A and B are shown apart, each in its own frame.
Chain A
Amino acid sequence: MREKATTLYLGPQHPGITGNMMVRLKVEGDTIVKATTEVGYLHRAFEKLAEKRNWLQTFTILCRFCVPEPDPVEESYARAVELLEGREVPERAKYIRVLVLELARLSSFMLWYGGQGGSLGLYTLGQWTVGDRNYILDLFEELTGGRVYHMYIWPGGVRRDLPEGFADKVLKTMDYFEKRLVDYNSLLFDNAIFQKRAKGVGIVDKNKALEWGAVGPVLRGCGIHSDIRIDDPYEVYDKLNFVVPTAEGGDIWARALVRQEEMRQSISIIRQVIEKMPSGDYYNKIPNPQKWTIPKGDAYARTEAIRGEIGFYVASDGSNKPRRAHMRGAAYVHAVTLLEDVLKGENIADVSAIMNSLGTCPPEIER
């Protein structure tokens, strides 16, 4: 006998994601028949505001797109503006940028551990990682003055040079994290609950992932080697040695494997950056921001964040304000087209784990 389908509203507030977003589920028993992403709870019209401010004022709101990981957004905006203007960035600034980006990557992986664990009932993991994340936030505070939002990577370079003794502190923190990573992984990957609930759940089809524009760990979890840091290298990633991990299966388990290896690679990148960091200037000074005009044209710069490709399109009409600043977030594709397809046939209880695994970030969709 066919069961009657019921409509279930998941969200707008629930623990699977950062921010507010609703998924409307049509369920038969426990099984999802149809899922629809409903957004609109978080629209802040940042891109409209950007049109009314000058290039530097814009930057202070544009970096607030994504709460867990604001630095890649800053970096892609800064680089798009530099590309458009043809502004050179000093070599030291590029190294500092990579250092900040990788620290940000580590800190948002910490949040991911918390979310992925929390969505399956493993709350201890989140307590550990979010606690340890504070050590990175401490570093950010010393470097930039802010813990979560930094406004540090700006057009022309970075805002300040590294403080004295900062490199040693970073290295010490990295030594600590390398040890802690073993604990995190044994807590997550050796856990029978996680193994049972992650393997074979939330499977993204390899062909669909390619066709439908999946990026980052979702694509790499399908066994496809793809990373903007390697494919379309920016800053100084082409001078650093690192491996882009892939895993087969396309399920939550595969994506988790990819992410835990990426953390190890990030630690290695940070060590290399500190070792190779040249001395010199850190900022190519921009003129008075009120009079700073950018030649007419457009540019697109993209960065690899933990969820995948983040890009910034900027267009200028030759004035001191952007004509258009439009961000492309990984979640724009993952949380709408891909999520709606992946959720079909899954269990209600797995929805938040799948959302977390796909890197759902509503602020990126709505902006």
Chain B
Amino acid sequence: MEEIKSKIIERIKANFSDAKNKSYPGDRIDFSVNKETIPSILFYLKDEMGFKHLSHITCVDWLEENEFEVIFIIWSPLEKLKVFVRTRLDRDNPVMDNIDVIWRQAHTYEREMREMFGIQFNGLEAPQDFLLEDWEGMPPMRRDFDTEGYAAETFFERPGREDAKDVREILTERSGEIVPDFAKKYSR
């Protein structure tokens, strides 16, 4: 396996000068490239090297570095190897090329990433809404999205539940039942 892996790494490095490789044990090969190279390297891996199956596309928000990382995980049924192709996007202006001509199913992933992270894909033709409806403001999967603030704004307490009283206390008050001592210590 190691031999095939090193052959693949050599071929990719010869063809794509910006491809940086990080070595991993097992069946994993890892390349990081510039975002402009993404369509051509994926096309090359698929058509020339047999990595036919797109397993996953994912995005990680590295807020501290002000960058998004988009990762494509592809699998070769022939060589039984998986390749991670990763690229970094500027968080202030996240734009990259769409690849749904290479793999049709990438279309769904791209729609979700556009909605959840705000990444724009050049040439992606799809309705804006996918999972969310009429969403305005910051895309919710970004790290700096204020989840707690959103919840406080959107949801409200049911009338009569504001005091957050222990249910058992309310029930005892209503029914006049005497709570045994051992049960009291579990009350809030």
| Chain A residues at the B interface, C-beta cutoff of 8 Å | 39-40, 43, 45, 47-48, 51-52, 210-213, 226, 231-232, 298, 300, 302, 309, 311, 313, 315, 317, 323-324, 326, 328, 332-333, 336-338, 366
**B147, CB-defined interface residue at 8 Å:** yes
- Docked complex Cα distance between A208 and B5 (Å): 28
Known contacts A298-B60, A324-B60, A332-B108; decide if A313 and B53 are in contact (CB<8 Å). Answer: no
Asked if B13 is an interface residue, CB under 8 A from chain A, the answer is: no
Digit string of B101-114 for contact with A (CB within 8 Å is 1, else 0)? 00111011100000
Tell yes or no: B141 within 8 A of A by CB. yes
Query: Which of B54, B77, B147 makes the CB contact (< 8 A) with A226?
Result: B77
A337's partner among B60, B84, B105 (CB-CB below 8 A) is: B105
Q: Does residue B40 face the partner (Cβ distance < 8 Å to A)?
A: no
Partner of A326, one of B56, B80, B105: B56
For A47, the chain B residues whose CB sits under 8 A away are 141
| Interface pair A45/B56, CB less than 8 Å apart | no
Listed in ascending order, the chain B residues whose CB lies under 8 Å from chain A are 27, 52-56, 58-62, 71, 73, 75, 77, 80, 82, 84, 103-105, 107-109, 129-133, 140-141, 143, 145, 147
Evaluate contact between B141 and A300: CB separation under 8 angstroms.
Answer: no
A39 CA / B60 CA spacing, docked (Å)? 23
* B103 x A213 contact (CB < 8 A): yes
Q: Are A43 and B58 in contact (CB under 8 A)?
A: no
- Assembly CA distance A28 to B105 (angstroms): 27
- Known interface pairs A48-B140, A326-B58; A313-B71 also in contact (CB < 8 Å): yes
- Measured between alpha carbons, how far is A309 from B73 in the docked complex, in Å? 13
13 pairs of residues in contact across A and B, judged by CB atoms under 8 Å: A40-B132, A43-B132, A45-B140, A48-B141, A212-B104, A213-B105, A232-B82, A300-B55, A300-B84, A302-B55, A313-B56, A332-B108, A333-B105
In the assembled complex, the CB of A359 is this many whole angstroms from the nearest CB of chain B, namely 15
Q: Give CA–CA (A198, B107) in the complex, Å.
A: 29
Residues of A within 8 A of B58 (CB): 313, 324, 326
Q: How far is the CA of A9 from the CA of B52 in the complex (A)?
A: 35
How far is the CB of B1 from the nearest CB of chain A, in Å? 12
CB distance B71 to A298 under 8 Å? Answer: yes
A100 to chain B, nearest CB (A): 24
- Since A213-B104, A366-B131 are in contact, a sample of 8 more A-B pairs with Cβ atoms closer than 8 Å, ordered by chain A residue number, is A40-B130, A43-B131, A43-B132, A298-B71, A300-B56, A300-B73, A309-B55, A337-B108
Nearest first, the 5 closest Cβ-Cβ pairs linking A and B are A328-B56, A326-B58, A333-B105, A213-B105, A324-B60
A317–B56 alpha-carbon span in the complex (Å): 20
Q: B131, A311: Cβ atoms under 8 Å?
A: no
Q: Which listed residue (A40, A298, A317) contacts B129, Cβ 8 A?
A: A40
Chain A residues, CB < 8 A from B140: 45, 48
Contacts of A39 in B (CB 8 A): 130-131
A316 to chain B, nearest CB (A): 10
Q: Which B residue's beta carbon lies closest to that of A225? A: B77
Instruction: Please indicate which of the listed interface residues A52, A309, A333 has the most CB atoms of chain B within 10 Å of its own CB.
Output: A333
Among A40, A309, A313, A323, chain B packs the most CB atoms within 10 A around the CB of A313
Complex CA gap A76/B105 in Å reads 22
Bound Cα distance from A155 to B145, whole angstroms: 29
B108 and A311 contacting across the interface, CB-CB below 8 Å: no
Q: Which of B58, B84, B129: most chain A Cβ within 10 A?
A: B58
Which residues of B lie under 8 Å from residue A328 when comparing CB positions? 55-56
| Residues in B neighbouring A231, C-beta threshold 8 A | 77, 80
Inter-chain contacts of A309 with B (CB < 8 A) = 55
Q: Chain B residues near A212 (CB, 8 Å)?
A: 103-105
Which residues of chain B come closer than 8 Å to A211, judged between CB atoms? 52, 103-104
Give Cα distance in the complex from A317 to B69, angstroms.
13
In the bound complex, CA of A317 to CA of B64 (Å): 11
In the bound complex, residues from chain B placing their C-beta under 8 Å from that of A315 are 60
Which chain A residues lie closer than 8 Å to B27 at the CB level?
A: 232
CB contacts (< 8 Å) of B60 on chain A: these are 298, 315, 323-324
